[in-house]
Amino acid sequence: MWKWLKRSLRYYFVAVGLFAHLVLGALIARELTVYLSAATARESPLNTLTWNDVQPILPAWDPVPAGPLAPQPNTARIGPQTFQSLAEALPHLKACDQLDIGPGTYQTSLIIDPDFVRIVGHGEVVLERAAAKDKGLMLIRGNGVEVRNLECRHVSVRDGNGACIRLEGTGLLLDHVYFHDSQQGLLTGGKPGLVHIRNSRFERLGKAGRAHAIYMGGGRLLIENSLFLASKDQGHEIKTRASATTIARSVIASLTGNDSRLIDASNGGTLLIENSLLEQGPQTVNSTAIGFGLEGGAANRTDHRLTLKHNLIILERAGSNRFLHLGDQPVSLDISANTFIAREPTGYDDGNLRFESRDAAGMASYPALPYESFLDLASRGALRGAEP
């Protein structure tokens, strides 16, 4: 009996020791993988490039030229009445008015309360370094507002989420706007209705992982023929809690940004991405390019759908790359007819085409991107337009 007990204990401790060694080996392997991945990221020659290296090869931003009916520089007009400053014009806005802004650089914040107002820039109109009520340069509380041909930059507030536009109303159209180098591009409330962004550019936006190029708090989001480039400070290019998000004919690229995800559909819903270019750059902080439902599915959403078709998806983060991270809720997936450039299998290679490198795909080396294949760069494209 005693011999049997000693033998059993010996086998037990051998088994426990073996199991402990296997677990320890797995932990060491995991930490070694993380370390080597981080080391690879630090040593990658792509990480030596800066925004100054990338900017010259980007398509140029081209404001809509001022036509013969444009207001004079540094003035504004509502109907037939001209005002000597933008600040002077704002109190006169009424529902359904059009606010025409002449060429110039304005350090004036805007609060838009009337409904169905159109704000139109003529020529090179730059709004900068101002914030209404410590929220955003344009605080839009009216419904059905349209904003066309404006550049916005250098917006910051104490809370770290200063936006070019803070939307507190419902319904917004952004057509041919260029929002850049601010804490946030667009931030909405929880019920913004339909937000439609077209022919526009969002660049170098983000703050402390809590402000992003755009942050939709709900509603529906439609993006067409637009660029989202190089978000910074762990901001997402697109963070959306919309019930339905559609992205078509657009470019979403990290380039040299230390961004987080390209697209984060936090509460799931319906996400459609088609005919677009997605690039996860070498310096991006988050290994995942697209997150879906990672903050739980909204209580009133039972139908979660994710569709990606006819896209070019480049995963060139210097460390590990993960194309898609899904939450726990059931999701209907249709990921087909896309082209991946990724060193490792994506988990979605079936029904798609994958190349292990740009060179294997016949593509120019980083940071070049085939913008012209996905954007309309003609007279009403994302970078130039006709007289509003």
Q: What percent of the chain is predicted at pLDDT more than 90? A: 82
Average pLDDT for 181-208: 98
Decide if pLDDT at 321 tops 80. yes
| Counted domains in the chain | 1
Q: What is the pLDDT of residues 143-160, one digit of tens each?
A: 999 999 999 999 999 999
Decide if pLDDT at 384 tops 70. no
What pLDDT, on the 0 to 100 scale, is given for residue 48? Answer: 83
Decide if pLDDT at 217 tops 60. yes
Query: What is the domain extent for residue 265?
Result: 44-373
Find the DSSP H helices in the chain. Answer: 2-43, 51-54, 86-89, 358-361
Whole-number mean pLDDT of the chain?
90
Threshold 0.85, pTM exceeds: yes
Per-residue confidence at 382, pLDDT binned at 50, 70, 90?
very low
CATH code for the domain in which residue 285 is found: 2.160.20
200 belongs to a structural domain = yes
142 belongs to a structural domain = yes
33 belongs to a structural domain = no
283 belongs to a structural domain = yes
Q: How many helices and strands (H and E) does the chain possess? A: 4, 30
Average pLDDT for 249-253: 98
What pLDDT, on the 0 to 100 scale, is given for residue 376? Answer: 87
Question: Which residues have CB under 8 Å from 149's CB, separation 6+?
Answer: 63, 64, 120, 121, 122, 125, 175, 176, 177, 385, 388
What pLDDT, on the 0 to 100 scale, is given for residue 143? Answer: 99
Cβ 37 vs Cβ 320: under 8 Å: yes
28 belongs to a structural domain = no
Of 37 and 283, more confident: 283
344 belongs to a structural domain = yes
Decide if pLDDT at 63 tops 50. yes
Q: What is the pLDDT of residues 14-26, one digit of tens each?
A: 554 555 555 455 4
Q: What is the pLDDT of residues 67-120, one digit of tens each?
A: 999 999 999 999 999 999 999 999 999 999 999 999 999 999 999 999 999 999
